[in-house]
Amino acid sequence: MKGAVRTMKKSVSILLIAILMMAALLAGCSGSPAEEPPASSGQAATDDPSSAPAAVEGKEPEPKGGPVKTTEVAYDGEPVTLKFIIAVDDETFRIRFKDQIEATFPNITLELAEASLDAAGLQELNARGDIPDLYVMHSGYQDMKELDMLEPLDPYIERSGFDMSIFREGVVDVIRALDPDGAGALYGMPIEDSRKALFYNKVIFDKFGVDYPKDGMTYDEILDLAQKLTTERDGVKYKGFSFGYYSHAFSQLGVNGTDPQTGEVLFAKEPAFQQFFELLDKYRNIPGMIDTSDYTYSFSNEQNVAMYIGQLQHLPLNNAVEGLDFDIVSVPEWPDHKGIGPTAPAVSVSINKHSRHKEAAWAVIAYLASEAGQMVLSRAGSPPTINSEEAVSEYAAMHIEESGKTYNIAPIFEQKPAPIAVYSPYGPLITFNYDDFINLKAKDFVKMPGKDTATFLREMEEEYAGLVKEMKVKK
């Protein structure tokens, strides 16, 4: 069944709870007061220019002297145990990774490493000589560079002939853009997409006689709907729309806030910053939208939020809520960036430079990115990174297939991430990254109705210039 997913029984299983833990990797929704818990991560990808000839749509590229393109990478070496750092529980690890890898590679045992993905946790692990073989990139590769853990995957891709054209457009580009040296090296293989969706409560729309949102709407159109739904009735306050994290919308613009070479702060010069805060100005001026009282708004619990932007991984979680009648459409877009969704790096698996089992580690990474590996991950609740209608149609089927309900899934995967030319090492992080600098400043701005956009941007730029100075001192 193309473009749709089936729903599950109204009970939260252990596997659904596992989604929340996987979800903590890359997205979520706490930027405005109506959000749900954060969920997982992932993204889309394109041909890898360093390893694959240009492809014609619908045709595999002709090999030019190198290995025939494939997604099958064998491992016939000695039995090894690979340690994998990823923020999931044991049951999720078994279902998504361990079972399928050990069934495919009899000589590989996959083990969940006990370590946090921050610099302190990795330093502690390395200090005691407990060397992980595989890890997941969390918010960029700078920490891994400083710990001397980066291992470029391009040589493995070229040597094995791995077909990078299987990925959805934009996924690999985002990962390459996060190369801390700015050279576009690939340090992680994307295995779980970080797709976002606009969730909407049908009951609230029906109550107020407002048409449901559609795929491809602009932010202005969504705010027009939100204004009709932000009101009070029968003692219940309703909020028409929550951005989730405000930086979801900003990440669709694909702009650097600093010059990658000099660190000059560009908030006042770059028109996208003005565009973003003007949108927030319209949002905050909707009567009742910014409620500074202690009133509780929630999409799934109180069910008084009409629309919010959240991780696609919220789908099975929301579906498990008794009485919540909802659907999803694509995230609203900027008029001058049609077809562009929120930009966040996929959950990407990397090889530790100091691993003693790099060939086995590469075989695992390649398999998880292959169609066979992606089908298992998709059914378990990880949005696929490959361009496969079948993998999309099976999304979260393990959790929701029993109810027979369908959701508007396919259009969520049709949005592309914003093109990113060069990532500035001075930040702010150009891709979505939870409660980052942009999101924090946006939260301040919407609660300051007397502050005009130009003044706020000037003060924001001065503040960030001070942070850049501190970064340069540390270098």
Q: What is the pLDDT of residues 445-466, one digit of tens each?
A: 999 998 999 999 999 999 999 9
% of the chain with per-residue pLDDT over 70: 84
What average pLDDT does range 79-91 have in this prediction? 95
- 415-444: b (≥16 Cβ within 10 Å) or e: bbbbebeebbbbbbbbbbbbebbbbebbbe
- Predicted local distance difference test score (pLDDT) of residue 67: 66
> Is the pLDDT assigned to residue 41 strictly greater than 90?
no
Question: Considering only 35-39, 106-110, 170-174, 389-393, which range has the smallest mean pLDDT?
Answer: 35-39
pLDDT band at 15 (very low <50, low <70, confident <90, very high): very low
- Predicted local distance difference test score (pLDDT) of residue 402: 78
Q: What is the pLDDT of residues 387-442, one digit of tens each?
A: 999 999 999 999 888 777 889 999 999 999 998 767 788 888 766 566 689 999 99
More confident residue, 244 or 128: 244
Distance CA 358, CA 82 (A): 9
User: In whole angstroms, how far apart are CA 106 and each of 110, 224, 357?
Assistant: 11, 57, 15
pLDDT band at 375 (very low <50, low <70, confident <90, very high): very high
What average pLDDT does range 249-275 have in this prediction? 93
- Predicted local distance difference test score (pLDDT) of residue 454: 94
- Predicted local distance difference test score (pLDDT) of residue 475: 67
Q: Are 454 and 265 a contacting pair, CB within 8 Å?
A: no
> Is the pLDDT assigned to residue 151 strictly greater than 50?
yes
Question: Considering only 123-132, 139-148, 288-297, 433-442, which range has the smallest mean pLDDT?
Answer: 123-132
**Cα end-to-end span (Å), the chain:** 53
- Predicted local distance difference test score (pLDDT) of residue 66: 59
Q: What is the DSSP letter of 411?
A: G
- Predicted local distance difference test score (pLDDT) of residue 410: 94
Q: Set out the domains of the chain in order of their start, with CATH numbers.
A: 80-194+344-417 (3.40.190.10), 196-343+434-474 (3.40.190.10)
> Is the pLDDT assigned to residue 13 strictly greater than 50?
no
Question: Three-state DSSP class for 403?
Answer: coil
Q: What is the pLDDT of residues 170-222, one digit of tens each?
A: 999 999 988 988 899 999 999 999 999 999 999 999 999 999 999 999 999 99
Phi, psi of 109 (to 5 degrees): -110, 125
Distance CA 179, CA 226 (A): 39
> Is the pLDDT assigned to residue 85 strictly greater than 80?
yes
pLDDT band at 125 (very low <50, low <70, confident <90, very high): confident
Q: Which residues, listed in sequence order, are joined to residue 162 by a DSSP beta bridge? A: 70
What average pLDDT does range 368-382 have in this prediction? 97
Instruction: Share the mean pLDDT of the chain.
Output: 85
What average pLDDT does range 351-364 have in this prediction? 96
pLDDT band at 71 (very low <50, low <70, confident <90, very high): confident
% of the chain with per-residue pLDDT over 90: 67
> Is the pLDDT assigned to residue 133 strictly greater than 90?
yes
Q: What is the DSSP letter of 238?
A: E
Q: Are 5 and 395 a contacting pair, CB within 8 Å?
A: yes
Distance CA 172, CA 458 (A): 34
> Is the pLDDT assigned to residue 40 strictly greater than 50?
no
Beta strands in 236-389 (DSSP E): 236-238, 307-311, 326-329, 347-351
More confident residue, 358 or 146: 358
- Predicted local distance difference test score (pLDDT) of residue 424: 84
> Is the pLDDT assigned to residue 31 strictly greater than 70?
no
